[in-house]
Structure 1
């Protein structure tokens, strides 16, 4: 895959230097608190290295990018298209800004917009979808800003810190992106 350039970021391939950043955030509760239950338990270095190896070798079915700084290419986070359905032309989106000092600075929304352009204009997908936990208000706001619409919710699907929470289903269609 070629690199995708934005104003402040580039969506690029995985590089050896990214592994140390990944090892840091996968066990940081400040980063993983809003992510899936894949991050419920600590990740060993071996598990992170194994995942990293599949990304570097390109053996994953996902279309995955590192979110890097446009000038230095330094790791900021990761963004993926997964569960790609080529027949029906849709995919799920996942994103993580893995460096605390980069949170809340608009890198996520810029990465999502670049990935939308790639998904709709290059891959000719018709729909991108995602799930976001209702307590993750920053992500919800970001997705709305990027044109996603809430289309439903899984009621009380997530148990976190003694409370059951809804998981919101959001999507954007190609024609909505084009407006």
Structure 2
């Protein structure tokens, strides 16, 4: 897997030592409650180890990257492509900024933009999609900033912290990415 370089971040391969950073957030409700249903919670140490090992050993179809600081390569979070569909040229995006002190600093936006370039220009996919809880306004605004459009929602799909939440489906197409990118040049 190539390293993908942004202004402040590098999207790099997972490493065994990332397990320590992942364990810090993967059972933290403040972080996990905002994640889509792709992520199973609670998460055991064994489950996290199996997840990293499956990626390192190439036993998964997903393509995953650690979001790391460009200078130190220290773990900030992770961004993954799930449900890669080569026939229809689409994938689903999952992202988490796992270090709470790094939330709200634009790392998620930058990571998505770096990954979009990879998805549309190197993998030649046509569609990148994701899902987000309706209460996760920070993520929703980030996705809009990155060119994603709301496609629909499943009303009261999940039950989190004593209330039902809608799941919002969003996507960006290659032509939309190209139009957005042309306006930035």
Name the TM-score, length of structure 2 as normaliser. 0.93
Any idea what SS the aligned residue of 1:169 has?
strand
Structure 1: distance between partners of 2:118 and 2:169: 22
My pick for the range that moved more, 142-151 or 32-41, is 32-41
Equivalent residues of 1:127, 1:171 under 8 A apart: yes
Q: Identify the residue that residue 40 of structure 1 maps to in structure 2.
A: 41
Q: Identify the residue that residue 163 of structure 2 maps to in structure 1.
A: 163
Aligned length in residues: 178
* Deviation (angstroms), 1:97: 0.6
Any idea what SS the aligned residue of 1:128 has?
strand
* Deviation (angstroms), 1:53: 1.0
Equivalent residues of 1:26, 1:39 under 8 A apart: no
Q: Identify the residue that residue 19 of structure 2 maps to in structure 1.
A: 19
Q: Identify the residue that residue 117 of structure 1 maps to in structure 2.
A: 117
* Deviation by residue 1:55-114 (Cα, 9 ceiling, x = unmatched): 222221101101011111111111011101101111100001111111110000000001
* Deviation by residue 1:105-126 (Cα, 9 ceiling, x = unmatched): 0000000001100000001000
Structure 1: distance between partners of 2:19 and 2:69: 16
Any idea what SS the aligned residue of 1:67 has?
strand
Q: Identify the residue that residue 95 of structure 1 maps to in structure 2.
A: 95
Q: Mark the runs of 5 or more structure 1 residues left unpaired by the alignment.
A: none
Q: Identify the residue that residue 53 of structure 2 maps to in structure 1.
A: 53
* Deviation (angstroms), 1:3: 0.4
* Deviation (angstroms), 1:40: 3.1
* Deviation by residue 1:24-59 (Cα, 9 ceiling, x = unmatched): 111111111111354432x22111111111122222
* Deviation (angstroms), 1:161: 2.0
TM-align CA RMSD: 1.1
My pick for the range that moved more, 143-152 or 26-35, is 26-35
Structure 1: distance between partners of 2:48 and 2:41: 14
Name the TM-score, length of structure 1 as normaliser. 0.96
